[in-house]
Amino acid sequence: MRRGPWHQFGDRSQRLAIEQIENGKGVGVIISPRDLAYRHAIRYAQVYHDLSVQVLLDPQFYVPDFSNRNLISYPTNDIRTIVSQMQPLSEVELARLASAIREVNNEINADGIIAPAVIYQAGRQDIIQMNSRLFRVAKNVGDEIGIPTYASVVMGRSATSSEQTIDAILGPVTSLNADGWYFAFEFEPERIPSSHDAIYRFCVAGLKLAYTGKPVLHAYAGPMALLSFGFGATATGIGHCQNLWRFCVGRWQPRGRNGGRGDAPARYFSKSLWGTIIYPEEFSSLSIDLQSTVLSPSLFSTLVNPGQPFLQFSRWDANKHLVYTICSTVGEISESLDPRTNASAAITLLQNSISLHGTIAGMGLTLRDDTNIYQENWRTALNELLESRASEYDYLELLRS
Q: How confident is the model at residue 393 (pLDDT cuts 50, 70, 90)?
A: very high
Mark whether 96 and 245 lie in a shared domain. Answer: yes
Question: Residue 373: which domain range?
Answer: 266-390
Mean pLDDT, rounded, of the chain: 93
Task: Enter the pTM of the model.
Answer: 0.95
Cα–Cα separations (whole angstroms), residue 80 to 9, 33, 87, 130, 167 = 20, 12, 12, 12, 27
Mark whether 239 and 273 lie in a shared domain. Answer: no
Does residue 261 belong to any structural domain of this protein? Answer: no
Mark whether 300 and 229 lie in a shared domain. Answer: no
DSSP 358-397: HHHHHTT---GGGTTSSHHHHHHHHHHHHHHTHHHHHHHH
What is the rounded average pLDDT of the residues 105-119? Answer: 97
Does residue 395 belong to any structural domain of this protein? Answer: no
Q: Which of 195, 218, 252 is the last residue of a domain?
A: 252
Round to whole Å and give the CA distance between 154 and 115. Answer: 11
Does residue 11 belong to any structural domain of this protein? Answer: yes
> Of the ranges 38-42, 46-50, 109-113, 396-400, which one carries the lowest mean pLDDT score?
396-400
Mark whether 246 and 284 lie in a shared domain. Answer: no
For 261-311, write each residue's pLDDT tens digit.
556 788 999 999 999 999 888 988 899 999 999 999 999 988 788 877 666
Q: Which of 252, 276, 307 is the last residue of a domain?
A: 252
Does residue 400 belong to any structural domain of this protein? Answer: no
Query: Hey, which of 252-266, 293-307, 335-349 has the most confident mean pLDDT?
Result: 335-349
For 153-204, write each residue's pLDDT tens digit.
999 999 999 999 999 999 999 999 999 999 999 999 888 999 999 999 999 9
Mark whether 337 and 241 lie in a shared domain. Answer: no
The number of folded domains in the chain is 2
Does residue 260 belong to any structural domain of this protein? Answer: no
Does residue 152 belong to any structural domain of this protein? Answer: yes
Query: Which H or E element spans position 236?
Result: strand 235-238
Mark whether 248 and 206 lie in a shared domain. Answer: yes
Mark whether 147 and 196 lie in a shared domain. Answer: yes
* Residue 384 neighbours by CB under 8 Å, 6+ apart: 200
Coil, helix or strand for 7?
Answer: strand
CATH of the domain at 141: 3.20.20.105
Evaluate if residue 313 carries a pLDDT over 50.
yes
Q: Which of 217, 252, 287 is the last residue of a domain?
A: 252
